Amino acid sequence: MAGDSESIVSEYLDQNPQLAQWVETFRGYCESNKQWEARKEFILRNMEAFPSVQQEQQQGGSSNNSSLDRLLSLSMAWANHVFLGCSYPASVMDKIKEMGEGIAVQDPPVHKTTKELLGKGKRGASTRNGEGDGCVKRGKCGSAWSASQKSGPTPQAPAEHQPFFNRLYKAVAWKLVSAGGFGPNLDHFEILRSCVESCKQTVTCVFVPLKDIAGLPAGRTQKEGHVCEIRCQTVYMGTGYGRDEAASKAMASKEALKVFQGRKVTVKICRRRYKGRDVEDLMLLDEQPRSQGFPPALSYPFQDEQLEDASL
């Protein structure tokens, strides 16, 4: 029973207040109580398999620990699988399922496969298996968001997300310095992924075939290719176009990193087009003035699945 599992964790943390305080530092800004309690249990259950993590916790050290980073990454992958339906390579799935065995989640979400959705005549970007590149691929976003967030980001959202992106800005700046500066020959996605994961979060990529995007000029609708949208913590970071998913992801990552070239980055609520209508979206911006509008949104994580289905 989920209740029994939670009570055991609670009792254990009551007996170890220092551990309780330490593990709370790894909670994500957007994690609900239900998601965090499950992921916290995952971390605590598996600490013994990472001895250096236990030693660090006992010494009250910082989080610059490869074992800790791996444990936190696995915990995030497990939570993404349970609550968002994300998939990863077979080796990763086997690992997180083994590590998560015995953790009971009360009323877990039910995730539908692409075949099930297509069988009902629904259209949309398909949810693809991850490829071990640190990119969570999702076609639909928002099934884990509360009713108050169905129609758009809250007014407090930019201020809530800004501290994370301030840390990410510093991580990207140092990474680019060590790589010799921003340039065309960099692996832009790898830089973005490693910096985001160093801040204990994951990158979200949404892919849509170019031919499936409405509103393109007639001459372009037959062209092959994909569009990729990159987000982190629901905040939009960049869009890229390419001949395939890998190429579009590379271009989207390059566009996302361009934002970090200024003196600072800022999270703002901006108006964008999504499925033919204007919506408010969270976006990461630099200080440069923009002469053109923003690309249309490929995903919208501020409404639940039921509301999104109604617009299809």
Judge contact between 43 and 27, C-beta under 8 A: no
Judge contact between 37 and 20, C-beta under 8 A: no
Amino acid at 182: F
Judge contact between 272 and 278, C-beta under 8 A: yes
CA–CA distance, 28 with 76 (Å, rounded to integer): 10
Tens of pLDDT, residues 182-203 = 887 889 999 999 999 988 889 9
Q: What is the pLDDT of residue 310?
A: 40
Which pTM does this prediction carry? 0.55
CA–CA distance, 225 with 230 (Å, rounded to integer): 17
Q: What is the pLDDT of residue 147?
A: 35
Q: Which residues of the chain have pLDDT under 50?
A: 1-5, 61-64, 114-115, 117-118, 120-131, 139-150, 220-221, 304-312
Q: What is the pLDDT of residue 91?
A: 86
* CA atoms 11, 69, 229, 261: torsion sign: positive
Q: What is the pLDDT of residue 305?
A: 39
Tens of pLDDT, residues 229-252 = 999 999 999 999 999 999 999 999
CATH ID of 117-310, from 3.30.43.10, 3.30.1360.70, 3.30.160.20, 3.40.47.10:
3.30.160.20
The residue extents of the domains of the chain are 2-111, 117-310
Q: What is the pLDDT of residue 133?
A: 64
Q: What is the pLDDT of residue 186?
A: 87
